[in-house]
Amino acid sequence: MPEDIHLAIAGATGAVGIEMLKCLEQRDFPVRKLTLLASSRSAGKTLPFRGKEITVEELTHDSFAGVDVALFSAGGSISAEFGPAAAGAGAVVIDNSSAFRMDPDVPLVVPEINPEAAATRPRNIIANPNCTTIVTLMGLYPLHRAFGLKSIIASSYQAVSGSGAQGIVELEQQVKALAEGREAERKVYPHQIAFNVIPHVDAFQESAYTKEELKMRNEGRKILGIDDLKVTCTCVRVPVYRSHSVSMTAAFEKPVSIESAREAYDGYPGVRLVDDPGEALYPTPLDTTGKDDCLVGRIRLDGVLPNALALWVVGDQVRKGAALNAVQIAELL
């Protein structure tokens, strides 16, 4: 991989694509040439990068000649169609969708957890995990290293921006309508999201779990290399703009204490403890929005399972849960 690379972003005008640009600039990523790609509707727009305006081009199968690294954030169907074309043209594809995550020939990577996986990529594609999975595992991995993870029981509290810009718009419009005494219209969600929570993220499966809930189990097993990891998850949409929160009980192979758990986080990159309940210090979505680190708090011994802890993890799902993680993978290369 050359030191100064030709990098492309497919889906550059979306929220994650724009966040990728911010991460690349803030982390001084060695970009020699930047190609921004999107649908024909967005072609011709410009986006700022390092003091210049870069014109967005239409994404086609021929967009990747000479590209060294291609970051994809344009949805699973787009990745499935154009990702192999980019890889075939010689680019290492880092894909943010679910299209390739469970492909055995595609590594699923969180750089703070399994960076070595990025070295072997038969299809020249690396997958970014689901945002909720990333936030959860960032909070759990330091504990897993110390005590050996056996099971997770989790509930997620997921921001409306996880549904894209339209999720934010619907929340804002509903709040305004209700304040004015009008009916809240529903287009994005099956129920009113304003002043409400909805235990339904992604499509329900035959098991009565949603796809989002099963991602935590399936992706967690692949990333951690624990084929029999037991996971029960309930994913909930909440009226928060940005950053996902996860409440979980994690059971371990070895005995664990609050003190030893705290020590496991000492110096670990990408995770920070905010845990002093007596002073009302614990992570909230506003604390992580626009920030790189995932925050961990409310650590306590579980009252049901042996060798188990209850804890609360919060992370910006647009940044660490998507854009930043992709850029960090590119840095590994």
Pairwise CA distance, residues 202 & 131, whole Å: 13
Is the pLDDT at 63 greater than 80, yes or no? Answer: yes
Region 93-112: mean pLDDT is: 97
Pairwise CA distance, residues 270 & 328, whole Å: 11
Q: Structure tokens of 29?
A: 């990523």
Alpha helices in 247-323 (DSSP H): 258-264, 285-288
Model confidence band, residue 325 (pLDDT cutoffs 50, 70, 90): very high
CATH number belonging to domain 133-317: 3.30.360.10
Instruction: Map residue 265 onto helix, strand or coil.
Output: coil
Which are the contacts of 155, defined by CB distance < 8 A and separation ≥ 6? Answer: 233, 234, 235, 236, 246, 247, 248
Give the closest residue to 247 by CA, choosing from 322, 137, 153. 153
Handedness of CA 52, 55, 61, 66 (dihedral sign): negative
Region 146-165: mean pLDDT is: 97
Q: What is the percent of the chain with per-residue pLDDT over 90, rounded to a whole number?
A: 98
Instruction: Map residue 173 onto helix, strand or coil.
Output: helix
Q: Structure tokens of 217?
A: 């189990």
- Token look-up 């059971």 returns 251
Q: How many other β-carbons are positioned within 10 Å of the β-carbon of residue 153?
A: 19
Work out the mean pLDDT of the chain and round it to a whole number: 97
pLDDT of residue 1: 55
Architecture label for domain 5-128+323-332? 3-Layer(aba) Sandwich (3.40)
Q: How many other β-carbons are positioned within 10 Å of the β-carbon of residue 173?
A: 15
DSSP secondary structure string, 29-72?
--EEEEEEEE-TTTTT-EEEETTEEEEEEE--TTTTTT-SEEEE
DSSP secondary structure string, 207-263?
TS-BHHHHHHHHHHHHHHT-TT-EEEEEEEE-S-SS-EEEEEEEEESS---HHHHHH
Model confidence band, residue 4 (pLDDT cutoffs 50, 70, 90): confident
Q: Structure tokens of 141?
A: 């991995």
Pairwise CA distance, residues 151 & 228, whole Å: 9
Instruction: Please state the pTM of the whole predicted model.
Output: 0.96
Q: What are phi and psi of 88, to 5 degrees?
A: -65, -25
Residue spans per domain, the chain: 5-128+323-332, 133-317
pLDDT digits (tens, 9 = 90+) for 291-306: 999 999 999 999 999 9
Region 247-275: mean pLDDT is: 97
Q: Structure tokens of 182?
A: 């009008």
- How far, rounded to the nearest angstrom, does the alpha carbon of residue 42 sit from its chain's CA centroid? 24
Q: What are phi and psi of 271, to 5 degrees?
A: -130, 140
Which are the catalytic amino acids? 131, 244
pLDDT of residue 2: 57
Q: How many residues does the chain have?
A: 333
- Burial of 128-141, coded b for 16+ CB within 10 Å and e otherwise, reads bbbbbbbbbbbbbb
The phi-psi region of residue 29 (left if phi > 0; otherwise alpha if psi is between -120 and 50; otherwise beta) is beta
